[in-house]
Structure 1
Amino acid sequence: MNNKKIFFASDQHLGAPTPELSFPREKKFVQWLDTIKEEAEAIFLLGDLFDFWFEYKTVVPKGFVRVLGKLAEIRDSGIPIYFFTGNHDLWMHDYFEKELNIPVYHRPQEFTFSGKHFLIGHGDGLGPGDKGYKRMKKVFTNPFSKWLFRWLHPDVGVRLAQYLSVKNKLISGDSDVKFLGEENEWLVQYSKRKLESKHYDYFIFGHRHLPMQIKVGENATYINLGDWVGYFTYGVFDGETFELKEYKQI
């Protein structure tokens, strides 16, 4: 890794509850990207960068110029960036790939860094819980549902989706911001189940909005990255150890 580090962040929810109120958080996140770019080997964004995102064939949501520009700058400098869709931006397709040269993943992926095995994803709909969202996700990802939504004028569709995103707790995650106990944390249970068939050193997820670092095996750790709404936390792997850190704006 040439003494460089791999950075992980999730759940910025830019645009919520309103574009005006989320603007300081966007500036803070862009500043963080600026501070890490010199020592970054790679950057992983684990979903819900936007509180809502839908790609029409010729239209994408208005706004987020600063963060998109910063991602383009970092990617153009040669630093790999990997994006995982979350439950708020699950309707993302190829815009990031075509415009920013950033691959987009819709399911957890395996990576190996410095001999350590990682399973990385947003975390929504995994494990034994999250049943209400799992039902909702089936509706949202149904091709017919997406086809119907695409027929709405963007001014109507985006406004409707933004309203539902903020108001609906199943989508917004407001019902999931309390620690449930290790035995009830469904991503912990998911990680333990995955270890039954294959070893991973680290399970890295977002979605839960809580910074967590929990041992799930003798040499395996589940990490939840927290968010950029209340915690401003991120993960960093230096080739030997993984740390959760809080970004304090300069």
Structure 2
Amino acid sequence: MPLTNNKKIYFASDQHFGAPTPELSFPREQQFVAWLDEVKQDAEAIFLLGDLFDFWFEYKTVVPKGFVRILGKLAEIRDSGIPIYFFVGNHDLWMGDYFQKELNIPVYRDNQEFTFGDKTFLIGHGDGKGPGDKGYKRMKKVFTNPVAKWFFRWLHPDLGVGLAQYLSVKNKLISGAEDVVFLGEENEWLIQYAKRKLETKHYNYLVFGHRHLPMVFPLGNNSDYVNLGDWISYFTYGVFDGDTFEIKKYE
């Protein structure tokens, strides 16, 4: 993807809209819409790296109630010709084809490689990557099992969505919640994962969400691990101008 003069690539992750309640989430949704309005002015593309919603499940004819401002703004930006790319996270991994059909936004379920100018990127949400986190990895296999999804789909949406939203907030194993403090290079699973990926192929930037801890961590040999933070505590996002990658805070 070539970068037009003065255009930028924007990245954001882990908004968890709808949590802990729709009422408390609403001001954060308004803030994110304002951010989208700003970045669309010079965006070459926008990458959303998962957990946009605290819970999302698509029934055949039903999607979760709410988020109309977010969805409307994404539709407006996409209709203007700006590409948007969405990566499912551990909270919205049950996304189907709604984004593709209604918003013309491609949805990815695993890491993808991109090249912007002369810089190479590996991009993904980051859940279940690297060593450790075995409890969540087992749980994810259950969540993504076609039989489990089929049974869940038969629950009435009022029951199914309500139950899932409750567990999303209350159950640490499901939520993937961690203490948002730097655990040290050897204990940060995504840093270790990034190092392993670099053993087989070089990337300038390995960009993830999930960890909720904003950072650009140098890995040597002109490679950086990037975590985008979140829109709960940090309100941070990533921006690549064709030369450097920065984490910025939206205020």
| Bin for the TM-score computed over the shorter chain | over 0.9
Question: Given the alignment of the two structures, is residue 212 of structure 1 paired with residue 215 of structure 2, yes or no?
Answer: yes
1:105 corresponds to which residue?
Answer: 108
The amino acid across from 2:43 in the alignment is A
1:48 corresponds to which residue?
Answer: 51
TM-score (norm 1): 0.98
Cα deviation 1:11-48 (Å, max 9, x = unaligned): 00000000010000000000000011010000000000
Question: Given the alignment of the two structures, is residue 244 of structure 1 paired with residue 240 of structure 2, yes or no?
Answer: no
2:169 aligned to 154, 159, 166, which one?
Answer: 166
Identity percentage over the alignment? 80
Structure 1 unaligned residues grouped into runs of 5+: none
1:70 corresponds to which residue?
Answer: 73
- Please state how far the C-alpha of 1:176 moved relative to its aligned partner: 4.1
2:187 corresponds to which residue?
Answer: 184
User: Judging changes above 3 Å, is the alpha-carbon distance between structure 1 residues 247 and 15 closer, same or farther for their aligned structure 2 residues?
Assistant: same
- Please state how far the C-alpha of 1:217 moved relative to its aligned partner: 2.4
Select between 166-175 and 34-43 the one with higher mean Cα deviation: 166-175
User: CA separation in 1, counterparts of 2:121 and 2:211?
Assistant: 18
Question: How large is the RMSD of aligned CA atoms in angstroms?
Answer: 0.7
2:225 aligned to 222, 225, 234, which one?
Answer: 222
Asked if 1 retains the 8 angstrom alpha-carbon contact of 2:239 and 2:246, the reply is yes
1:12 aligned to 12, 15, 18, which one?
Answer: 15
User: CA separation in 2, counterparts of 1:98 and 1:176?
Assistant: 37
Aligned residues: 248
User: CA separation in 1, counterparts of 2:133 and 2:117?
Assistant: 33
The amino acid across from 1:164 in the alignment is L
User: CA separation in 2, counterparts of 1:94 and 1:26?
Assistant: 23
Asked if 2 retains the 8 angstrom alpha-carbon contact of 1:4 and 1:41, the reply is yes
User: CA separation in 2, counterparts of 1:133 and 1:115?
Assistant: 36
User: CA separation in 1, counterparts of 2:41 and 2:74?
Assistant: 14
Structure 2 unaligned residues grouped into runs of 5+: none
1:196 corresponds to which residue?
Answer: 199
The SS at the match of 2:178 is helix
Question: Given the alignment of the two structures, is residue 152 of structure 1 paired with residue 138 of structure 2, yes or no?
Answer: no
User: CA separation in 1, counterparts of 2:39 and 2:174?
Assistant: 30
Asked if 1 retains the 8 angstrom alpha-carbon contact of 2:13 and 2:50, the reply is yes
The amino acid across from 1:243 in the alignment is E
